Structure 1
C-alpha cells in the first residue's frame, strides 16, 4: 500500500470531492478481516511495545470527522489491541465553563501522551476551528487584539501549526486522520443507530441537526486540511465509507511512523546481566 496516496501534502489546496469516500482497492472484506488487518495490528502491537519500553518518543494521533464516520470504531478495532499502559485515549465534547475560561488549547494538554505512549484524541484541538466558526460561537474576549472574527481562523491555523511543530521538535510525532465519509453513507449509519435499539445509545439528536450544515462543514474541513497539513504533522484523508479498509490504512500509517522512530528494547548492562543469570539459576534450583 502506498500510504502517501492518502496524505495531504504541505501547502496543498484540498478539494474533498477529489478524495474518494470509497475505492476499488482490490481486497475483499474477508481478506481484510482475516489476513491484512490482523497481520498489521500484530506488527503495530510489537512496535508499540518497543516504543513503550524505550520511552524516548511518543505519538499523538488526531481523529477528526463528521458524526458516524468511524472514529470510535477505529479506536475499538485497532488501538484497543495495543498495550494499555502505553496508550492514552481522550474524547472531547463541548467545552466546559472552566475550559472556556482558558486559552483554547489549554484543555488539549490533558490528552497529550507521555514518552513511550500513543495518545489518541477522539476529536481534538481542531474542534476550535470548526464548531465555533460554523455557529459563530466566539466571544470578543477570545479574539486576539490584532485581528477580527474574519481573520481569527487563519491565526488559529498558524497557532495550531506552531503547537504541532513544538510537539514534533520535542520528540512527539503527530499523525492526523480525517474520515472522509459521504453524505449518503452517513445517512445510512445514522438511520441504523436510530432504528436498532441496541445502537440507540450511539445516537444523538445533534447528529441530525449538524447534518443540515453538511456543505458548510465540508468547506470548513477543506480549509482546515489545506492550512494545517505539514511535513511534521500531516493529515491523512481516509475513504471512510469503507470502514475496514480505512482501519487498514490507519495501521499502515502508524507502522510507518513507528518504523521511522525505530524504538528498541533497552539493553541490560553487563552487571545486571550477571545478576540476572544468578537469579535465573536461583529460581531454577528452587
Structure 2
C-alpha cells in the first residue's frame, strides 16, 4: 500500500490530486489499528538488533505543514523502542551560531552513530521550503555570488549529494511528507484555540504561514520532484486521519528495517569458550557462597545448641 504514496523520481507530484485520508484505499479502521500495533512490535525487535549490530544507521526525515501531526506520529509509532537506540531532533529556526555555518552543519552534528535511529522533525529541507517561500536567503551573511537566483536550485543539488554521501557511509534515509488538507488543518487550529491544554501549541505565526498555502504547495511539490531518487524516495502520506497516518509510517519504517536485515552479533569459537569459562566462574561463585552459608549455620548451631530445635 505504501508504494501508492512513493515518489522515486519516476513521476511528478500534484498534491491537489493526492488523497489526504483513507477513503481511496477502502481500509478497515480496526484492522489497520491492529496492524499498526503489530508493526510496532516488529520495529522494536528489529531496532534491538540494529543497535546491537552497530553497522547501519537509520535517519527518518519528517516534513509537513503545521498541525499535520508530526509529533504525535513519532510518539505513537516509535513508542516502546529502547531509548538508548533513538535520537529525536526538532529543528527550529536556526540560531545566529548555526547561520554562521553552512546550512547542513547543524544537521550533520545531529547524525546518529551507526546502529541508532534518528528522527529529524523538520530538517535541511526547510532550506527549500520556508527559506524559499520567504526568500530568507537574500538576507543571509553570504557572498553576493552565493545569493543569486539559482540559490534554491543549488540547494536541491547539494541535498541530493548529501543524501548520496550518507547512503555511501552506512545510513538509510526515510523521507516522509505528511499531507494534511487545508480543512483539517483549520479544524486542528481551532481545537488548539478552544482546548486549554492545547493553547500552547498555537501561534499567530501559524495563520501567517497558512495564508501562503498555495506558495508552500508549490515548494513541497518542487522539493519532492527535485530530490526523489530510486535509493532515497519520498513518501507522501495522507494525514487527515491520525490512525491511518500512523499505520503508513509504521509500514515504511518496518519495511526499511526489514530490508536492512540487522542481526545480533555472532561470536567466535574462542569468544564462546571464554563465555563458558565466565559461566563456570559465576556458577562456582554461587556454589562457594552456598557452602559458606552452610558453614556459618553449623558454627552458629555449635555456639547455640537450642537453635537446632
TM-score using structure 2 length: 0.87
Distance 1:41 1:29 in 2: 17
Matched, 1:275 2:274: no
Any residues of structure 2 matched to 1:1-286 within 5 Å, and which?
2-24=1-23, 25-33=25-33, 35-138=34-137, 139=139, 141-142=141-142, 145=145, 148=148, 150-268=149-267, 269-279=271-281, 281-282=283-284, 285=287
Q: CA deviation at 1:203?
A: 1.3
| Corresponding position of 2:304 | none
Contact 1:111 1:120 in 2 (8 A): no
Task: Indicate the SS of the match to 1:263.
Answer: coil
Larger Rg: 2
Deviation at 1:19, TM superposition (A): 1.4
Is contact 1:87–1:118 with CA below 8 Å preserved after alignment? Answer: yes
- Render the CA deviation track for 1:97-146: whole Å, top value 9, x for unaligned: 11111111111123211111000000000011111111121136446737
RMSD: 1.8
- Distance in 1 between the 2:143 and 2:229 partners? 25
Distance in 1 separating the partners of 2:168 and 2:146: 28
CA drift of 1:238 comes to 0.4
Q: Mean alpha-carbon deviation: is it higher for 51-60 or for 244-253?
A: 244-253
Whether the aligned pair in 2 keeps the contact of 1:167 and 1:173 (CA below 8 Å) is yes
Conservation of the 8 A alpha-carbon contact between 2:8 and 2:232: no
Counterpart secondary structure, 1:81: coil
1:85 offset after TM fit, Å? 0.4
Counterpart CA distance in 1 for 2:171 and 2:73 is 21
Q: CA–CA distance in 2 between the matches of 1:143 and 1:220?
A: 25
Alpha-carbon distance change, 217 to 76 in structure 1, aligned in 2, over 3 angstroms: same
Q: Deviations over 1:192-220 (max 9, x none)?
A: 11110011111122111110000100000
Please name the residue that 2:305 is paired with: none
5+ long unaligned stretches in structure 1: none
Q: 1:86 to 1:12 in 2, by over 3 A?
A: same
Of residues 65-74 and 109-118 in structure 1, the stretch that sits farther from structure 2 once superposed is 109-118
Cα 1:38/1:280, change in 2 over 3 Å: farther
Distance 1:234 1:279, change over 3 A: farther
Number of equivalent positions: 283
Is the contact between residue 57 and residue 116 of structure 1 (CA under 8 Å) also seen in structure 2? Answer: yes
